[in-house]
A and B are shown apart, each in its own frame.
Chain A
Amino acid sequence: MQFGIFSVGDVTTDPTTGHTPTEGERIKAILTIAQKAEEVGLDVFATGEHHNPPFVPSSPTTMLGYLAAKTQRLILSTATTLITTNDPVKIAEDFAMLQHIADGRMDLMLGRGNTGPVYPWFGQDIRNGIPLAIENYALLHRLWRERVVDWKGKFRTPLQSYTSTPAPLDGVPPFVWHGSIRSPEIAEQAAYYGDGFFANHIFWPKEHTQRMVDLYRQRFAHYGHGSPEQAIVGLGGQVFMRRNSQDAVREFRPYFDNAPVYGHGPSLEEFTSQTPLTVGSPQQVIDRTLSFREYVGDYQRQLFLLDHAGLPLKTVLEQLDLLGEEVVPVLRKEFAARRKPGVPDAPTHAARKAVAAAAQPETGR
């Protein structure tokens, strides 16, 4: 099982000091946080993609390419890459390039985005969100698997004899997660291709995530990729920790109360009881996280949201220390002990390369 963090990349005023980082400070902070994730023993760093303030990460592969050079083990990923408004041809090229630069230490999560005007800014119509996600991914999927592609669809100019460069490293397409909060079509899409499904998880009650993951698992089996338990599932999570749980609640409350996403709405207590948000001691985070598998089954990747809502860099780095030193080692051990036989490992380039080589020894590009 893989553990990591995902960053939305918001520039938010710290409500306790009134300090607002510059875009440059925030970008450098994200890079520091990602490198710290490797240092404390986490497996994955994923960045969001946004095209409107107050979010800074508009160019994920630039950021991840830098991190590829600065890290040794960390898997570099996205949360999410916009499959709706990006050209699928450019996604194929950018991420294949990243795959080569990172020696395979990467994958990506596709999503539709959450900001209406991004569609018209990039020449699309939000009412086509699902059809765009489906058509664009169908093309992306072919570009990473066929050397020469002839293609015609509704949304993009046709392709004649197109070859996406570079070809995927070792002939193994980057692993794809399909991320969704509430669209069953996306769970269906992940199941159809036998790709991973990542449930955002953090903004909804667990019953919602449970139903969505169950749908994906059933459809994964329906399309012949294996049993429902063999489907590849990732979950989001959101935590704030101090050794003493009352200190965690006291310190996090002003950030929660003023957070752009849920501030001025539910109380911290309501939100922690209704969603996976856990504010407390490392042991509370361990217990809550272990409970996720009780409603989604054994899963492959757990990403935590730590850097948001104006939390200062120093605080986020302290959170990473706690996560890496006290939480994740216990989670690795406990999840492994509970895991049912036959559940696949989290996807890595090396493992997928070995499977591809065993299946098709003669092929290669």
Chain B
Amino acid sequence: MSARTVAVVSAGLSVPSSTRLLADQLAAATVEQLAQQGTDTAVRVIEVRDLGHDLVNNLLAGFPSAQLSEAIEAVTGADALIAVTPIFSGSYNGLFKSFFDVLPRDAMADLPVLIAATGGTARHSLALEYAVRPLFAYLRAPVVPTAVFAAAEDWGGDEQESTLRTRINRAAAELAEEIRRREPRKPAGPFALSRSFEELLGGE
């Protein structure tokens, strides 16, 4: 079996958090989809809450701590990303955005992403489309068509079986397909040069 890696960024603030619960279900569904194709998948979960101080320090001092650096490399070197945030004031929360603000330039390019969010009511669900999806468009990361929103009510009764579960599986299948279509990802070295010095001297 070939081995792939999926990184999960979960920006829930409480412990336990429904954001993490949704993230885990998306990761499990993606692993299941890939397993059906004979692909073994390792999942690496990053709880952004654990990196809160390191993120602010990076924003203010300009470099990541060892722990944050390791998390950044886990995301940018993965074959795909599942990014899940609670919706705050109509958008992703600040911690979630801070994580993507400190990534090296171009580090997310062509990295397939599944976006998901949690919120109190379904009225916030379109924040995924007008706030979260454009963030990854800016980072040049392809986002799968199905975005998954879980409101408080989705965690109860028959609703989860009928709609949330369906959407999780559909999104996971889309992400698994994006992983399958690509070669295993090799992150570029931090100091890789794309042009020779002669080309730079020639003004290319």
Contact = CB atoms under 8 A, between A and B. Distances in A.
Interface string B174-204: 0000000000000000111100010011010
B60 A265 contact: yes
Q: Main SS of chain A's interface residues?
A: helix
Contact of A211 (B60, B66, B190): B190
Interface in A256-271: 261-266, 270-271
B191 A274 contact: no
Q: Main SS of chain B's interface residues?
A: helix
A266 B66 CA distance: 13
B190 A274 contact: no
B17 interface: no
Nearest to A193: B197
A203 B62 contact: yes
Interface in A185-206: 185, 187-189, 192, 203-205
A205 B63 contact: yes
B57 A208 contact: no
A276 to B, nearest CB: 12
B61 A184 contact: no
A149 interface: no
Contact of A185 (B57, B63, B200): B200
Given A211-B190, A264-B60, A270 B65 contact: yes
Contacts of A264: 60
A215 B193 CA distance: 11
A203 B60 contact: no
Contacts of A192: 197
A275 B192 CA distance: 23
Contact of B63 (A154, A188, A208): A208
A265 B57 contact: yes
Contacts of A189: 197, 200
B197 A265 contact: no
A266 B203 contact: no
B21 interface: no
B56 interface: yes
B70 to A, nearest CB: 12
A215 B61 contact: no
A187 B191 contact: yes
A266 B197 contact: no
Interface in A128-163: 130-131, 134-135, 138, 153-154
A274 B63 contact: yes
B200 A131 contact: yes
A96 interface: no
A185 B193 contact: yes
B60 to A, nearest CB: 3
A138 B201 contact: yes
Contacts of A211: 190-191
A189 B199 CA distance: 12
A185 to B, nearest CB: 6
A211 B61 CA distance: 20
A97 interface: no
A28 B191 CA distance: 40
A134 B66 contact: no
A261 B191 CA distance: 24
Interface string B51-77: 000001101111101100100000000
Contacts of A262: 60-61
Contacts of A275: 63
For B66, B190, B191, the residue with the greatest tally of chain A CB atoms inside 10 Å of its CB is B191
A265 B56 contact: yes
Interface in B153-193: 190-193
Given A185-B200, A187-B191, A211-B191, A203 B61 contact: yes
A203 B58 CA distance: 11
Nearest to A130: B200
B69 to A, nearest CB: 8
A89 to B, nearest CB: 18
Nearest to A192: B197
Given A184-B193, A188-B193, A203 B201 contact: no
A212 interface: yes
Nearest to B62: A203
A266 B193 contact: no
B57 to A, nearest CB: 4
A138 B193 CA distance: 19
B192 A270 contact: no
B192 A266 contact: no
Contact of A203 (B59, B63, B192, B200): B63
Nearest to A219: B197
Contact of A184 (B56, B57, B191, B201): B191
Across the A-B interface, the 6 shortest Cβ-Cβ residue pairs = A265-B60, A184-B191, A266-B57, A262-B61, A265-B61, A192-B197
20 contacts: A130-B200, A154-B203, A184-B191, A184-B193, A185-B193, A189-B197, A189-B200, A192-B197, A205-B69, A208-B190, A211-B191, A261-B61, A263-B60, A264-B60, A265-B56, A265-B57, A266-B57, A266-B60, A266-B61, A274-B66
